[in-house]
């Protein structure tokens, strides 16, 4: 009786093994038919992936990868014909296929017969070729990740796809098998943007620190890196990033402006002067640097040097609207000082001071008019004009400017 029972168990085991191997063959055949049955192929392969009798066979996982590969191929044929294709489903097929191929490769490299002798890999070249295709042809992982990022706003999904793309050249068996081009850096860049969008600041920083000097969107990378450190309240590193930006991109005023703004916010005017002088030395024809220096002198209430550097700004860039407005503000300040100084003097002296101040206020008008002509969308210039017209009883001009402002 025991012998019969044991024989039945053995027979059942052999039947199960045969059944699952048959499923693997069936899945492969359904995939490679002229009119593939991908649904049937998937239904056939799934039990074989879990059954112990076939789950350690590289062929099982290779066939599973082949199904996704062929699904992706069918989608691409439709794309080539100009038909609309669900890029997400196409990409999901690639991603699933890729992970199956990785498992197949691992098992294929460590496959032994019953005597313990290693079996020569059967699928190595085919798997490497297909993964190479996924990496180098942009309609595969790259396009899928980009769709998740741009259209679907699925930043977590995009990161998984981007990182799958990025890991391929790092695989030991793919390292010398694929060609890395500028797309690789582009993917790293967008992977960091995806991380930012879900506030994974540490991840974004890690990527940006890695690529900041590799020649792709260098200026933007430094600016994003600065912003990421700001989000983490990491003053040491955001200052370091700004200083590196000044050194590497001296003609981009963004870095020096933010660096100086920081020092000014800390009332460190001397450090601000140090950096603006350095910027002017490196790029003596950058109007914005003279404008910044004028603003620093304005903070120190050094009217003479403030005017001098506003004038230098306009000498280099006659259309620098803020410099015209800056001179206008400087003139208004001078007029207000005259009035304040005369506030407690005799009526006669105050009236003389008022007349003198009004002459200054009138002279400021032209500067705000010019600034407004250069940048008509900037309402601040118009609001300054409104104040001057009101102060000088210029009713006609006041009515016109209030119409422009929508009052």
Residue identified by tokens 């069918």 is 74
Structural domain for 55, as ranges: 11-180
Does residue 98 fall inside a structural domain?
yes
Span 59-101, pLDDT tens digits: 999 999 999 999 999 999 999 999 999 999 999 999 999 999 9
pLDDT band at 240 (very low <50, low <70, confident <90, very high): very high
Contact 87, 158 (CB under 8 A): no
pLDDT band at 12 (very low <50, low <70, confident <90, very high): very low
pLDDT band at 20 (very low <50, low <70, confident <90, very high): confident
pLDDT band at 279 (very low <50, low <70, confident <90, very high): confident
Average pLDDT in the 381-395 region?
A: 96
What is the secondary structure of 183-225 as a DSSP string? Answer: HHHHHHHHHHHHHHHTT-HHHHHHHHHHHTTTTSSHHHHHHHH
Residue-averaged pLDDT of the chain? 93
Question: In the prediction, which pLDDT does 17 show?
Answer: 53
- State the Rg of the chain over Cα: 35
Q: What number of other Cβ atoms are within 10 A of residue 69's Cβ? A: 23
Average pLDDT in the 125-136 region?
A: 98
Does residue 125 fall inside a structural domain?
yes
Question: In the prediction, which pLDDT does 115 show?
Answer: 85
Cα-flanking dihedrals φ and ψ of residue 100, to 5°? -65, -40
Does residue 189 fall inside a structural domain?
no
Question: In the prediction, which pLDDT does 6 show?
Answer: 44
215-221 LR contacts (CB < 8 Å, sep 24+): 215/185, 216/182, 216/185, 216/186, 216/188, 216/189, 217/189, 218/248, 218/249, 219/245, 219/249, 219/252, 219/254, 221/189
Does residue 359 fall inside a structural domain?
no
Q: What number of other Cβ atoms are within 10 A of residue 130's Cβ? A: 21
Contacts of 370 (CB under 8 A, 6+ apart): 321, 324
Does residue 121 fall inside a structural domain?
yes
| Res. 16: pLDDT tops 80 | no
- Cα–Cα distance, 202 to 352 (Å, whole number): 63
- Cα–Cα distance, 25 to 19 (Å, whole number): 10
Does residue 20 fall inside a structural domain?
yes
Query: What would the two tokens of residue 251 be?
Result: 């003609």
| Res. 11: pLDDT tops 50 | no
| Res. 9: pLDDT tops 80 | no
Cα-flanking dihedrals φ and ψ of residue 118, to 5°? -70, 135
Question: In the prediction, which pLDDT does 7 show?
Answer: 46
Question: In the prediction, which pLDDT does 372 show?
Answer: 97
For the chain, what is the total number of helices (H) and then of strands (E)?
Answer: 19, 0
Contact 111, 119 (CB under 8 A): yes
Q: What number of other Cβ atoms are within 10 A of residue 366's Cβ? A: 13
Does residue 194 fall inside a structural domain?
no
Query: What would the two tokens of residue 350 be?
Result: 């105050």
- Burial label for 10, CB within 10 Å (0-12, 13-18, 19+), is exposed
Span 308-351, pLDDT tens digits: 999 999 999 999 999 999 999 999 999 999 999 998 889 899 99
pTM for this predicted structure? 0.79
Average pLDDT in the 114-142 region?
A: 95
Report the number of distinct structural domains present in the chain.
Answer: 1
Does residue 39 fall inside a structural domain?
yes
| Res. 4: pLDDT tops 70 | no
Q: How many residues does the chain have?
A: 407
């Amino acid at each position: 009786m025991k012998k019969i029972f044991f024989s039945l168990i053995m027979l059942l085991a052999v039947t199960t093994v045969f059944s699952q191997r048959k499923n693997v063959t069936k899945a492969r055949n359904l995939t490679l038919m002229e009119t593939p049955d991908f649904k049937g192929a998937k239904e056939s392969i799934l039990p074989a992936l879990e059954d112990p009798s076939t789950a350690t066979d590289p062929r099982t996982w290779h066939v599973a990868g082949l199904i996704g590969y062929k699904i992706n191929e069918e989608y691409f044929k439709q794309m080539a014909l100009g038909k609309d294709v669900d890029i997400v489903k196409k990409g999901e097929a690639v991603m699933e296929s890729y992970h199956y191929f990785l498992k197949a490769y691992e098992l294929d490299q460590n496959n032994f017969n019953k005597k313990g002798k290693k079996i020569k890999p059967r699928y190595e070249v085919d798997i490497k070729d297909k993964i190479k295709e996924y990496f180098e042809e942009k309609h595969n992982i790259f396009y899928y990740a980009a769709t998740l990022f741009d259209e679907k706003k699925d930043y977590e999904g995009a990161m998984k796809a981007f990182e799958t793309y990025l890991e391929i050249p790092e695989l030991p068996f793919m390292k010398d098998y694929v060609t890395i081009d500028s797309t690789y850096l582009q993917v790293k860049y967008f992977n960091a943007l995806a991380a930012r969008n879900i506030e994974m600041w540490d991840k974004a920083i890690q990527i940006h620190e890695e690529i900041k000097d590799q020649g792709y969107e260098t200026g933007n990378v430094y600016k994003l890196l600065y912003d990421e450190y700001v989000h983490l309240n990491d003053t040491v590193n955001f200052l370091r990033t700004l200083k590196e930006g000044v050194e590497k991109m001296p003609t981009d005023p963004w870095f020096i402006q933010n660096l100086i703004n920081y020092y000014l916010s800390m009332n460190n005017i001397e450090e601000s002067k140090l950096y603006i002088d350095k910027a002017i030395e490196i790029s003596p024809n950058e109007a914005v640097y003279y404008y910044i220096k004028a603003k620093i002198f304005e903070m120190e209430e050094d009217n003479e040097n403030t005017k001098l550097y506003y004038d230098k700004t306009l000498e280099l860039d006659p259309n620098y609207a803020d410099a015209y407005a800056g001179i206008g503000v400087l003139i208004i300040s001078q007029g207000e000082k005259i009035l304040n100084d005369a506030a407690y003097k005799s009526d006669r002296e105050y009236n003389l001071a008022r007349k003198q101040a009004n002459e200054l206020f009138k002279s400021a008008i032209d500067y705000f008019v010019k600034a407004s002509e250069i940048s008509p969308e900037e309402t601040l210039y118009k609001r300054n004009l409104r104040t001057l017209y009101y102060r000088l009883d210029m009713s006609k001009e006041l009515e016109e400017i209030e119409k422009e402002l929508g009052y």
